[in-house]
Structure 1
Amino acid sequence: MNRIKKILEVKGMSQTDLAHRLGKSFNTVNLYAANKVQPPLPVLYQIADILKVDVRDLLIPNKM
């Protein structure tokens, strides 16, 4: 999930912003962004929707 961190940078959004919009703690989002925890599939789709990217953009390292 290290793609989350990169896409957040590109979109100009912080992990705190994403956490708030997901209704998750900053620590949880930080674990996703650091690739220490994989978000459940429904959360992955929520993240893609919030970031306005295809869910595959979160999974394929060199697409962006």
Structure 2
Amino acid sequence: MKRNKKFNRIKIALVENSKSNKWLAEKLNKDKSTVSRWCTNDMQPSLETLFEIAILLEVPVESLLNKNPE
């Protein structure tokens, strides 16, 4: 059975900034399902996209990453 490691905190950052997956998808010109998969840690955004997310949410990129993934 595959364990889903949580590498990013994108969903938490969106909630803390009162933003939705849909908002982020529109800002990044990405499909809503792609953003949803990032938020559930089913897949990870590229490093470049992670920096774009940090800029949009006005947070340090480090705050979008879990220091110790499960």
TM-score normalised to structure 2 length? 0.81
- Report the alpha carbon displacement of residue 47 of structure 1 after superposing the two structures with TM: 0.5
1:11 lines up with 2:35 in the alignment: no
Query: In the alignment, what sits opposite 1:22?
Result: 28
Hey, which of these two has a bigger chunk of helix by percent? 1
Aligned length: 62
Q: Percent identity?
A: 39
TM-score normalised to structure 1 length? 0.88
1:42 lines up with 2:48 in the alignment: yes
- Report the alpha carbon displacement of residue 58 of structure 1 after superposing the two structures with TM: 0.4
* Paired residues of 2:8 and 2:66 also in contact (CA < 8 A): no
Whichever of the two has the greater Rg, that structure is 2
- Report the alpha carbon displacement of residue 2 of structure 1 after superposing the two structures with TM: 4.4
- Report the alpha carbon displacement of residue 60 of structure 1 after superposing the two structures with TM: 3.1
Unaligned runs of 5+ in 2: 1-6
Query: In the alignment, what sits opposite 1:59?
Result: 65
Q: Measure, in 1, the Cα distance between the counterparts of 2:53 and 2:44.
A: 12
- Report the alpha carbon displacement of residue 55 of structure 1 after superposing the two structures with TM: 0.4
Bigger relative contact order (CA 8 A; separation at least 6): 2
Q: CA RMSD in A?
A: 1.6
